[in-house]
Structure 1
Amino acid sequence: MSAESPKAIFYALAANAGIAVCKYAAAAFTGSGSMFAEAIHSTADCGNQLLLLFGLRQSREPPSPLHPMGSGRAINFYSLLVALLLFFVGGAFSVYEGVHRLFTREPLQYVYVALAVLGVSVVLEALSLYGAMREIRAGNPGKPLWRWFRETRDSDLLVVAGEDVAALAGLAIAFVAVLLTVITGNPVWDACGSICIGFLLMTIAWLVAREVKSMIVGESASPEMRRDIETFLRARPEIRHIMNVITLQWGKEIVVAVQAEMIDYEHSRTMVEAINEIEADLQARFPQVRWVFFEPDFVNR
């Protein structure tokens, strides 16, 4: 994620806080279950963004004897917490609220207030999603969104984008549910809207959690980064043969392990100096590469 990520999260936090206040007020005026579900969702989003900000701060902790490679992967843990909160606080509670409304069937009041708040919220969430998409496109030009979702190593950007998509789709469902309730006079539509929002949130939360879990287990660098690193190494004249290259995404940074056969050197010191030069040039070419472990070996012929 780019250096602008904290700023983007702050913008989303401010927007969601304002939206949540408006939704709670509208839910109290109208008695809408869909609106109350949306208010809970926005509240959960605020908490999620605070967790992401805390996770970003934790991930910048310097290396220590306990964590010799730093705490870069801490952001993945907090991103998983956000996905779980989105699932249970946002999704499961919305389903519960919708089922409760199915049995009580309370009529809506001041429905035009609810529709107005939902309309404003759609605009604000669309702007937030636009900001996330702009950041995604800046770092991944031309890559389809679903492919980016499966291949990205930025768990915080993944969560922000997932939340924005869920929020926008949920608002659309709530708007349609309230509108159908107004047209038909049947509050069942509003209750069904709350249930649909809940299942939508749980589905997106599960997809996000699945990707973040893979990052916690340990993923390689992105396919493009792996390919570029291997191309760089194979072009080095000091290396006769690349035997193995392993990359590991460590938060925003990358670990690279190389096993290679070097060309013949008269002295071991000269070979070590050549390896040091390769490592320095690799890190200069790819600033994300923080650690390089180089093992010289030979191929049995």
Structure 2
Amino acid sequence: MASSGSRNVILAALAANALVAVTKFAAASFTGSSAMLSEAVHSLVDTGNQGLLLLGIKRAKRPPDRTHPFGYGMELYFWAFVVAILIFGIGAGVSIYEGINKIQNPHPVTSPYINYIVLGLAMIFEGVVWVIAFKQLRATKGDLGYFEAIRRSKDPTVFTVLFEDTAAMLGLVVAFFGIFLSHQYNLPVLDGVASLIIGAILALTASYLAYECKSLLTGEGATRKVVAGVEQIIAEESGICGVNELLTMHFGPQEILLNVSIDFSDKLTSGEVQDRVSALEHSIKDRYPDIKRVFIEAQRTHESTGAQQ
């Protein structure tokens, strides 16, 4: 399940986007700006998206049962994928439609200064949420670079909010210049062009989020650092000749399944092998609390050699 910090990021984004959406819709209705309407739809979609992520966090907390013996942690990945689809289908779709409609049927934007004020306030709100999400990413990225941390992150809530707000900030800048140039040069078509650009930004954002969520949904393993750490723990245990196979899989941001096949020395008794398996399990879980389930297959050296022949 996602951390409490991730939940706080989502709640902050939900409150900000809801407030901004209402303000943008009011401004779009009063001024007739296509770019502002696209931004209003964008904020409305983002508000719904945060609600879906909160739903995903709640459902992911459900304990394991007969139908889901490993729990429901991956539901969070599903709802994050739905968020990406909504951004693409509704956010980008409506923005592109509005842009094309404004280009085909141009009409001047009235009272542009209202739009400037609303866009300025929206930048402040979105900027605050972006900083909160960025701080959460920085707190969890370790020694990785920012882009690498996003690419390897197993918590879609953080990078989804971060990318949503990055797209929102870019969209606000585009909307501002679109409205400004449209009014300055009396070219209403530029307002429609701005709406098209906003749609393209949302489409690209949604595509990247969908790609990242697809990787998590299809069974992404633990990071190389975690795998290397587990291999080190195994190597430090006496009586082990080697590791045949080590497999990991994330069932949630903080829930990893570990399967490992180990060759034990022929000199060990069955009881000693059992003791070492138990010691390995405790050592691995102590060092990596996110590894919730450990399955160790114990083999004798001569057994694995015979299996290869």
TM-score, length of structure 2 as denominator length: 0.94
Corresponding residue of 1:29? 30
Distance (Å, rounded) in 1 between the aligned partners of 2:143 and 2:287: 23
The C-alpha deviation readout for 1:82-106, integer Å capped at 9, x for no partner, is 0000001100110001100111111
Distance (Å, rounded) in 1 between the aligned partners of 2:60 and 2:105: 47
Aligned CA RMSD, in angstroms, stands at 1.4
Alignment of structure 1 residues 45-124 onto 2, 5 Å: 45-124=46-125
Which position in structure 1 is the counterpart of 2:4? 3
Runs of 4+ that moved beyond 6 A: none
Match of 1:296 in 2: 298
Match runs of 1:118-157 below 5 Å? 118-157=119-158
Specify the alignment match of 1:204 in structure 2: 205
The amino acid that maps onto 1:152 is S
AA in 2 matched with 1:300 = T
Superposed, which structure 2 residues align to 1:228-239 within 5 Å?
Answer: 228-239=229-240
Return the offset for 1:266: 4.5
SS at match of 2:4: coil
Of 31-40 and 238-247, more deviation after overlay is shown by 238-247
Between 1:187-196 and 1:136-145, the stretch displaced more is 136-145
Normalising by structure 1, report the TM-score.
0.96
1:174 counterpart = 2:179: no
Give the letter aligned to residue 111 of structure 2.
Answer: Y
Partner of 2:220: 219
* C-alpha contact (below 8 Å) 2:182/2:188 kept by paired residues: yes
**SS across alignment from 2:135:** helix
> How many angstroms apart in 2 are the aligned matches of 1:35 and 1:131?
25
Call closer, same or farther: CA 1:141–1:290 in 2, change over 3 Å: closer
Aligned position for 1:191: 192
What are the Cα deviations for residues 193-234 of structure 1, in whole angstroms up to 9, with x where unaligned?
A: 000000110111001101101111111012222222222222
Structure 1 gap ranges (5+): none
- Name the CA distance, whole Å, in 2 between partners of 1:84 and 1:207: 11
Structure-2 change in CA distance of 1:68 and 1:265 (3 Å)? farther
Percent identity between the two aligned chains = 33
Report the alpha carbon displacement of residue 28 of structure 1 after superposing the two structures with TM. 1.1
Paired with 1:16 and 1:285, the residues of 2 have a C-alpha distance of 39
Shift of 1:142: 4.3
SS in 1 for 2:260: strand
